[in-house]
Chains A and B, each alone.
Chain A
Amino acid sequence: MAESRSLLPWPVLRQLTSGDLLGRGKAVRSRRTDEVEPRTSTADRVARSVCPYCAVGCGQKIFVKDEKIVQIEGDPDSPVNRGRLCPKGSASKNLVTSSLRETTIKYRRPHGTEWEDLDLTTAMEMVADRVVKSRRDAWQELDEKDRRVRRTMGIASLGGATLDNEENYLIKKLFTAMGAIQIENQARI
């Protein structure tokens, strides 16, 4: 408190005495500024990642502290983006930490007017039951021209362009083994 009464901390004095006449440098830094540490330097770890929006593939660094994502920045080492991100890429932290994200299963029963809750394992069991049934009900061993086709026309899927290669690989592998052929993604759109 004593300091606050002194004239010494006045930025104008520092401006005049330190050579920073325009007050754009050290002279106008407050103690608070000096004490603030960027989240990037206090993070526990950094994951090297890639922007999830368009297909340019900008490198990102994801800073994690206490198992929470505290900052996402462009990766300066990347030959793709040299550390830069666009408005969407810069908002990726907002994407992953948004309070609007769904974190539990929502279930709407036939003719229902409201969402209901389901736990994850129950929902998985229900979906597995439906897949088995729909696959069986719409099975075609032969098509209308008596050609052997071994497939089901009861199950369709759309999506993949936002997913990982490994995920698309498993999706196609599983659906193909099931005989489900109406498997599509954004590349068709």
Chain B
Amino acid sequence: MAEAHPVGFQWVVEAQNRGAKVIHVDPRFTRTSAVADKHVPIRVGSDIAFLGGIISYVLENGLDFRDYVVNYTNAATIVSDRFEDTDDLDGLFSGFDPDKRTYDPTSWQYDVEDEPGQQSAAQADDSEETQEQRDSAAGMQHEAHGMQVEGKPRRDETLQHPRCVYQVLRRHFARYTPEVVEQTCGVSQADFLEVCRAWTENSGRERTTALVYSVGWTQHSVGVQYIRTGAILQLLLGNMGRPGGGIMALRGHASIQGSTDIPTLFNILPGYLPMPNPDQHATLGDYVDSIRNPGSKGFWSKADAYTVSLLKAYWGEAATPDNDFCFDYLPKITGDHGTYRTVLDMIDGKVSGYFLLGQNPAVGSAHGRAQRLGMANLDWLVVRDLFEIESASFWKDAPEVATGEIVPEECATEVFLFPAASYAEKEGTFTQTQRMLQWREKAVDPPGDCRSELWFFYHLGRMVRERLADSTDDRDRPLLDLAWDYPVHDEGALGSEGAQAWGEPSAEAVLKEINGYDVATGRPLSSFVEMKADGSTAGGCWIYTGVFADGVNQANRRKSRHDQSFVAPEWGWAWPMNRRILYNRASADPDGKPWSERKAYVWWDEEQQQWVGDDVPDFEKTKPPSYRAPEGSDGIEAIEGIDPFIMQGDGKGALYVPQGLIDGPMPTHYEPVESPFRNPLYGQQANPTRMDYRRDDNPMNPAPPEEHSDVFPFVFTTSRLTEHHTAGGMSRYLEHLAELQPEMFVEVSPTLARERGLEHMGWCHVVTARSAVEGRVLVTERLRPLRVEGRTVHQVWMPYHWGGGGLVTGDSANDLFGITLDPNVLIQESKVGTCDVRPGRRPTGPALRELVADYGRRAGIGDQLPARIVTASADAQARSLAAAETSDDDQEGQ
């Protein structure tokens, strides 16, 4: 955190100065470790075992925050008797189909009071096509629209029932003993137990613990389950929805949160509404029902209002009740259309044009060579950036030009490099990592032909519409009917046609549309509860409604921190409804009183008969803690006074997830796809449901039980330096930053340096099945060899900021990674791989490819396609599959 989010880290230091203990778990000793009270080095890719061990410590010692756990989580809920766990199935959960490598989650469902079979089928229905779900990153949709729980699942609030979530969880994590943690993670039992004690002693009524991660955590084949493990621990200890608690994802780009909320992502629409697919979403009614799942609790019950308001914002007057508000205009997704699939499709010649908007995949995405070969096989490429980044100049200076794989005279890609306006030369909002929107004022006009994306896309849309204006083709209606008439500013006008033709669109007008308004009067909505499903309101992103409440740009509020409370609610605006801590009803006990005076945040005021406190309550303001849902109610009415997790179908925090996850209802340790070690827990080596694109141009290093993993004996990982930013497009071109960190380097321990003959400040190169990259050797004790499974493992660390462009150049660490993805969200495993390290510089030209090919031959790559992914025993596979078949039979019988 001190390295990559240094100014945010001041608050950690502030807490430390007030007595907080700071623990840093990281393979490498960094600037964070230097300040932390305790640094725990860990083997990369073993985090579930580490956190799982802490969960086990909590459960075996009864250290959970029981009042919180019973009332606010699903600990008491009873799971179907068909569920079988990884311990019994050699690392698989019940319901695994080895051919599709996906689960039928029917056996994972809750037990219910009435008609058990039907109920679990109905719950699982949402997860029916798990293969398609994986292919469409549907996990992200589920995460957003919450678990859907119909009716009343059985509960045992004593937590003694052998199949209640609490007991299922306790059995599941029981094997993560301190010894197993030591053997798997390379963390000594003493260090591990110190972390356990610190975490548990600092949680409860009087105290809270925060879990902070940076998003390298997501870049694993089990990335979602990493975060799930953290969530389980924080829920058990009562740290969610409370001040000083929570899970903080430190995201890495100024508005990456915003670009997820208002997504430029293939699988979702603004506000986490799913992109429709033809099987589930033939009509608007089907679509809405698949989101709100009638019978479920919570605010997704108004999905019809959110969807219709979005369609009204998109298609304006053309969207009417008679045509389902143009729902049919939305294109349908049918599988994996993620960026890695698309890049492989480029190599295969299936993609014509590509826009790169402030993004540099030639350096920043995994498997750089595949990225560049893909770009070299397009019809046209538009790059919009501040500088001539590597993704714009690949046709003349990519590493593949040196190896002869890209020949400029033969490369047919037409490239347009458009200079972009910088953040200081346009107005608009970023959404920061804490869900806070902040409006930026424009300082100056952009120079020369530099323009904002707002300008570029507004005018591109205008020009495309002009070209199709006379079209009678049905497919052009969505473009021609689009509400695309934004007011433009005069300044920045260009060309003889004058301001109206080429002016800069008003970002504030766009923000008003995002906020939503009453169609008849134009009055901005102040809350998403005002949204209607009848077409009388329009709004581009329901979770952002309120950012323009009362016609005021709330994101532009800048009341000094000196003039308001520590929550600072009048600085910017946070979604939803300016709440700064999500689910903050959990900061009070079931009766609505603060858990302790020390940790008071939001509470029920009996006199006023409403929730009050330091923050905007994340709960219906006047719904008392004593409220219980009437029989047969659903939606918002069904949220009880003790249901803080108002977006979940049962109102409870999920310790166990019966649906929505592709790879299992609970996290379990799988080895990284590339690992020198056999999974110590069971036969299933790595995530069996991971997205795998193994092909000749995307080889993976072998891992046990495959042979030859010793060809790549070391583990490597990458992260950021304080002085650079991701793929370097905003840092390597700056004099100050280039001077501060001028060169690519490879950090190794003194032991590894001796073993491999590496000289401090000399050169070395790192080799994988994809490529070899070179850098200066940095020998430090910041990296320590660890003892894992009885032998020593060396870890190698590299920054990933360099490329061929800019003031300081170097090889790109991301060239070393292959493409394997987490099955839930299709994010690549690019924080852990195996490699070899050799002294000296790497070969250049075609000799580079020969070196890599030679390693591939020695590792048996090519002989092994397709690799064995399901490595659990045949017996376990058969039993897991049988669980799915049993439930199918039962369903048919009803």
Chain A contact residues, CB within 8 Å of chain B: 47-59, 62, 64, 67-69, 72, 74-75, 77-82, 84-92, 94-96, 98, 100-113, 115, 118-121, 123-132, 134, 137-139, 141, 143, 145, 147-174, 176-189
Which of A118, A125, A137, A166 is in CB contact (< 8 Å) with B507?
A166
In whole angstroms, what is the CA distance A98 to B494 when docked? 24
Tell me whether A62 and B443 are in contact (CB under 8 A): yes
B419 lies within 8 A of chain A by Cβ: yes
Tell me whether A186 and B418 are in contact (CB under 8 A): no
Tell me whether A54 and B5 are in contact (CB under 8 A): yes
In whole angstroms, what is the CA distance A166 to B421 when docked? 14
Within 455-472 of B, Cβ neighbours of A (below 8 Å) are at 457-461, 463-464, 467-468
Interface flags, B352-394, vs A, CB<8A=1, else 0: 1111111101001110000000000001101011111000100
Tell me whether A172 and B510 are in contact (CB under 8 A): no
Tell me whether B734 and A98 are in contact (CB under 8 A): yes
B826 lies within 8 A of chain A by Cβ: yes
- By a CB distance below 8 angstroms, the chain A residues around B48 are none
Given A56-B5, A108-B395, A185-B265, verify A103-B450 contact (CB < 8 Å): yes
Q: Say how far B792's CB is from chain A's closest CB, in angstroms.
A: 32
Stretch at the interface among B164-172, B334-342, B591-599: B334-342
Q: Say how far B634's CB is from chain A's closest CB, in angstroms.
A: 30
Residue in B269, B514, B571 with the greatest tally of chain A CB atoms within 10 Å: B571
Given A86-B722, A102-B386, A143-B334, verify A179-B475 contact (CB < 8 Å): yes
Which of A59, A100, A105 is in CB contact (< 8 Å) with B418?
A105
Interface flags, B655-672, vs A, CB<8A=1, else 0: 000000000000000000
Tell me whether B261 and A108 are in contact (CB under 8 A): no
B417 lies within 8 A of chain A by Cβ: yes
Enumerate the 9 nearest inter-chain pairs by beta-carbon distance, A residue then B residue, closest first: A159-B357, A103-B448, A164-B428, A57-B432, A160-B264, A151-B331, A161-B253, A159-B359, A160-B259
Tell me whether A149 and B413 are in contact (CB under 8 A): no
B430 lies within 8 A of chain A by Cβ: yes
B708 lies within 8 A of chain A by Cβ: no
Closest to B458 in A: A170
In whole angstroms, what is the CA distance A169 to B509 when docked? 12
In whole angstroms, what is the CA distance A155 to B266 when docked? 12
In whole angstroms, what is the CA distance A157 to B63 when docked? 49
In whole angstroms, what is the CA distance A137 to B353 when docked? 11
Tell me whether A67 and B445 are in contact (CB under 8 A): yes
B270 lies within 8 A of chain A by Cβ: yes
30 contacts between A and B (CB under 8 A): A52-B730, A55-B250, A56-B250, A80-B7, A81-B7, A82-B10, A98-B733, A101-B450, A102-B387, A107-B417, A110-B413, A112-B408, A121-B502, A127-B382, A127-B416, A130-B352, A145-B334, A149-B331, A156-B342, A156-B353, A157-B354, A158-B339, A161-B255, A162-B730, A164-B428, A177-B478, A180-B331, A184-B265, A187-B263, A187-B265
Tell me whether A167 and B331 are in contact (CB under 8 A): no
In whole angstroms, what is the CA distance A51 to B464 when docked? 34
Tell me whether B424 and A132 are in contact (CB under 8 A): no
Stretch at the interface among B108-116, B119-127, B527-535, B557-565: B557-565
Q: Say how far A100's CB is from chain B's closest CB, in angstroms.
A: 5
**Residue total for B at the interface (Cβ-Cβ under 8 A):** 165
- By a CB distance below 8 angstroms, the chain B residues around A156 are 339, 342, 346, 351, 353-355
Tell me whether A110 and B416 are in contact (CB under 8 A): no
Q: Say how far A84's CB is from chain B's closest CB, in angstroms.
A: 5
B440 lies within 8 A of chain A by Cβ: yes
In whole angstroms, what is the CA distance A164 to B455 when docked? 12
- By a CB distance below 8 angstroms, the chain A residues around B440 are 47-50, 164
Closest to A131 in B: B464
In whole angstroms, what is the CA distance A164 to B265 when docked? 15
- By a CB distance below 8 angstroms, the chain A residues around B190 are none
Tell me whether A87 and B736 are in contact (CB under 8 A): yes
In whole angstroms, what is the CA distance A62 to B409 when docked? 45
Which of B409, B449, B475 is in CB contact (< 8 Å) with A105?
B449
- By a CB distance below 8 angstroms, the chain A residues around B270 are 169, 172
Given A69-B444, A160-B264, A161-B259, verify A54-B4 contact (CB < 8 Å): yes
In whole angstroms, what is the CA distance A141 to B475 when docked? 8
Which of B253, B260, B417, B453 is in CB contact (< 8 Å) with A102?
B417
Given A49-B423, A141-B475, A182-B266, verify A123-B254 contact (CB < 8 Å): no
Taking A102-B386, A102-B450 as given, write out 15 further A-B residue pairs in contact, using a Cβ cutoff of 8 Å, ordered by the A residue number.
A52-B423, A55-B250, A79-B566, A79-B571, A86-B6, A98-B735, A102-B419, A106-B392, A112-B395, A150-B331, A156-B342, A159-B264, A165-B511, A168-B259, A169-B514
